[in-house]
Structure 1
Amino acid sequence: MARNNRFALCAAAALVSSLTLGQAAIAAPTYKLEKVAEFDHQVTGVTASESGRMFVNFPRWTEDTETSVAELLPNGDLKPFPDASWNAWRNARQDSMTPGAHWVCVQSVVADKRGSLWVIDAGAPAQAQVVPGAPKLVQIDLASNRVAKVYPFGPDIAPQGSYLNDVRLSPDGKFAYITDSGTSGAIVVLDLETGKARRALDGAPSTQFEKGVMVKVDGKPLRRPDGRGVQFSADGIALSADGGTLYWQAVKGNTLYSIDTAALRSANLAELSGKVHTVGENGPADGLLLDAEGRLYISSVEDHSIKVRQGSEVKVLLQDKDMRWPDTFTQGPDGTVYVTDSRIPDMSFYNPKQGPALETTLYKITAKD
């Protein structure tokens, strides 16, 4: 799936140290994208472990794929992760496979920097019907490269129409927070000790796509042949360093929201909407990354840019038209920020002339020479 040896992970010496210099460092677009890897399938998620191991995932949106979750090796090759068996699901042979023990439609991978990789499987190939028994959060121990625990989600948590999208883990390792970008957006709160989950802000205005917002690319509405536009609900997610505040927004939306996680975990579900805070407007965005300095990186999908929010101020960090749809961020142990380009506008969903396969890219952000 990766183009063997065409692009390798870049040396740790190429740091993005200037990203930690504070407000003045983002005053002008003095950064650029550097290609790290190119894939023969549509990539969405990327993550880096505390030791620098890199992982990516390929959802089954417009085509089946032999490898759904992979480790990206230093030479640019992909290694099915945690093994070939977990990657053995095929849409045409699903009746003979257990969806709870295979990757069905993985949307996100997140390393918790404490020795585990967490994988979100929405279980809905082509963003359509949820395969019964497929939605799950899986913890993989990176020391042994073996699955440590599977948290399955039944139809009460991942109903038809849902699409579990991204996850953040609390610093104490007790809770997971997951966005549902499906037709009825929500925030799923999972107690990792008990395995119990609750579907919070289900149908609330803050987790839905915003009416009246039309996602555009290069100034033109992005629509399917039948006229439907982008309709992703709660999608990008970020968690403060102390675990006390959760942030999220819809792709089809301008607004960034937040809530105290204590309320999200314990408050009466009917009262939660009143505890949501409006942070400000980012414009339509996909992935979010909150760094240790409190800067929020925003994948701005309409204008091929990466933006940074610091407090109430949002500025363009870089812009590059070769990046068709900035998707997911991760930050390596050396401070380097990486972003995937999932090229959503070029999918056959929106461009019927495009075949099911789609070549996509992983970039890193570097300072301009």
Structure 2
Amino acid sequence: MRRFPARARLPLLAALLLSPLITPEMAWAVPMPEKPEVAGDALSPALTSSTQIWDAVQALPDGRLILEAPGWLGNPTPQLSVSAKGAAPTPYPNSRWNTDAGDPAQRFVAITGMTLASDGSLWVIDSGVPDREKPPVAGPKLIQIETQNNTVQRVIELSPNVLRHGSVLGGIAIHGNTAYVPDSGDAGLVVVNLDDGSAQRFLDHVQALTAGRPITTPSGTVKAPDGRPIAIDASLIAISPDGQWLYVQPYCGPLYRIATSLFDDPDSTNTALQESATLWYKTHALGGLTVGPDGTLYWSDVTTGSIDSYTPGRIPHHLITDPRLRWPGGASLSGNTLYVPASQLDQAARFQNGHATVQWPVTVYALHLPDDATSDVLRK
């Protein structure tokens, strides 16, 4: 990234400090309520699997569910599948893209995130790293899938210049012609121009993107095969509906907010960018982060087995805690229903001395929010 004289950053910093969107009253977040807002009967099974660990789900406008089953968890193919109205999942967009062999440019190597763009297309990030403990087998790429005709529209192979030793790109947020992809292996943020495929890297090793503690669950600290506690850099990311704010956090938390305008400002210095990340909420370890059309954030809390929400006005809502939510993963909001997989990710073989202890089936749950949960209640 270009470097600019110190004087070039003064107007930018002044604008940030004087911005009416960050007021003194907003500096202190309200604690998360202890009492959940919905009872256990609001959580119902939507789909199950006895063979795959689904770590994320994406609801399409027509009611279909896209399911992510990454290979690094020991899953059999497919890595990406689709289910219509509870029917058995089938490979998505087709079997060829879900094969284990062949040209890496024409198949999924290691899916690490997906998101639905405003035009209805599904964007997938493929890190090219099937095993975090081993070197990559292919370069990272973005895949755009047209969900109406279920075909791959574009493949954007990312330049090696935006990678570092140990990079594992994971998570994706999109607004307009820009994609934001965090690096969970060597903390940083890759910003991709979707028009021409060019990419830049920002925020290397800043606190907002760097894991500062291990991941904990109700059963304890999650450890790697060699016994070391696992700490994963930024992999959870979401963007506000207007595209102004990027929400990002390392897997362990906490959650930060960054103004996206800084990435387009030619006067943005490295120092200004580093200082731009605002601590937004002291979250636990999260398995998923998504944003609703009104800007409300929804997250799945791995540490407590909960689903919570957080309004643009920084009002937290504890929606539900349920023993069925064992490592709740990447969630997706459809109307007043939030779909979330109870992935049991920490029970995968790589975290259990090579022997999976998953209690099958893995279940995607539908959390039926109160009628006013996405409007007045979350803005009161």
Deviation, structure 1 residue 160:
4.1
Query: Following superposition of structure 1 onto structure 2, how do residues 43-122 of structure 1 map, counting pairs within 5 Å?
Result: 43-63=54-74, 65-90=76-101, 97-122=102-127
Q: For residue 218 of structure 2, what is the aligned residue in structure 1? A: 218
Aligned partner letter, 1:189: V
- Structure 2 contact 69–75 (Cα < 8 Å) conserved: no
Select the structure that is richer in strand.
1
**Aligned CA distance change for structure 1 residues 231 and 349 (closer, same or farther; 3 Å):** same
**Aligned CA distance change for structure 1 residues 356 and 60 (closer, same or farther; 3 Å):** farther
Q: For residues 279-305 of structure 1, give each alpha carbon's deviation from its aligned partner in whole angstroms, at most 9, with x where no partner exists.
A: 121122231122123322121111111
Alpha-carbon distance between aligned partners in 2 of 1:217 and 1:256, rounded to the nearest angstrom: 18
Q: For residue 273 of structure 2, what is the aligned residue in structure 1? A: 272
- SS of 1:203's equivalent? coil
Q: For residues 322-366 of structure 1, give each alpha carbon's deviation from its aligned partner in whole angstroms, at most 9, with x where no partner exists.
A: 22101101112x332111222122122222263398752211102
Q: For residue 330 of structure 1, what is the aligned residue in structure 2? A: 332
Aligned partner letter, 1:251: Y
| Larger displacement relative to structure 2 (152-161 or 188-197) | 152-161
Deviation, structure 1 residue 139:
0.5
Q: For residue 19 of structure 1, what is the aligned residue in structure 2? A: none
- SS of 2:346's equivalent? helix
Matched, 1:341 2:349: no
Deviation, structure 1 residue 67:
0.7
RMSD: 2.4
Alpha-carbon distance between aligned partners in 2 of 1:367 and 1:75, rounded to the nearest angstrom: 20
Give the TM-score normalised by the residue count of structure 2.
0.80
- Structure 2 contact 83–89 (Cα < 8 Å) conserved: yes
Q: For residue 245 of structure 2, what is the aligned residue in structure 1? A: 245
Deviation, structure 1 residue 243:
0.4
- Structure 2 contact 336–369 (Cα < 8 Å) conserved: no
Q: For residue 167 of structure 1, what is the aligned residue in structure 2? A: 172
Q: For residue 260 of structure 2, what is the aligned residue in structure 1? A: 261
- SS of 1:326's equivalent? coil
| Larger displacement relative to structure 2 (354-363 or 344-353) | 354-363
Q: For residue 129 of structure 1, what is the aligned residue in structure 2? A: 134
Query: Following superposition of structure 1 onto structure 2, how do residues 285-296 of structure 1 map, counting pairs within 5 Å?
Result: 285-296=286-297
**Aligned CA distance change for structure 1 residues 329 and 265 (closer, same or farther; 3 Å):** farther
Q: For residue 34 of structure 1, what is the aligned residue in structure 2? A: 44
Which structure has the bigger radius of gyration?
A: 2
Aligned partner letter, 1:80: P
Q: For residues 37-66 of structure 1, give each alpha carbon's deviation from its aligned partner in whole angstroms, at most 9, with x where no partner exists.
A: 112112122112233332112111132522
Give the TM-score normalised by the residue count of structure 1.
0.82
- Structure 1 contact 118–137 (Cα < 8 Å) conserved: yes
Deviation, structure 1 residue 237:
1.2
Aligned partner letter, 2:183: D
- Structure 1 contact 165–179 (Cα < 8 Å) conserved: yes
Alpha-carbon distance between aligned partners in 1 of 2:166 and 2:239, rounded to the nearest angstrom: 25
Q: For residue 378 of structure 2, what is the aligned residue in structure 1? A: none
- Structure 2 contact 350–356 (Cα < 8 Å) conserved: no
**Aligned CA distance change for structure 1 residues 133 and 353 (closer, same or farther; 3 Å):** closer
Alpha-carbon distance between aligned partners in 2 of 1:150 and 1:319, rounded to the nearest angstrom: 39
Q: For residues 87-134 of structure 1, give each alpha carbon's deviation from its aligned partner in whole angstroms, at most 9, with x where no partner exists.
A: 1124xxxxxx21111101112222224131111111111333353434
Alpha-carbon distance between aligned partners in 1 of 2:330 and 2:107, rounded to the nearest angstrom: 23
Alpha-carbon distance between aligned partners in 1 of 2:286 and 2:47, rounded to the nearest angstrom: 23
Q: Percent sequence identity over matched residues?
A: 27
Q: For residue 300 of structure 1, what is the aligned residue in structure 2? A: 301
Q: For residues 200-221 of structure 1, give each alpha carbon's deviation from its aligned partner in whole angstroms, at most 9, with x where no partner exists.
A: 11211211001xx333222632
Aligned partner letter, 1:196: S
Q: Which structure 2 segments of 5+ residues have no match?
A: 1-32, 371-380
Q: Which structure 1 segments of 5+ residues have no match?
A: 1-24, 91-96
**Aligned CA distance change for structure 1 residues 177 and 318 (closer, same or farther; 3 Å):** same
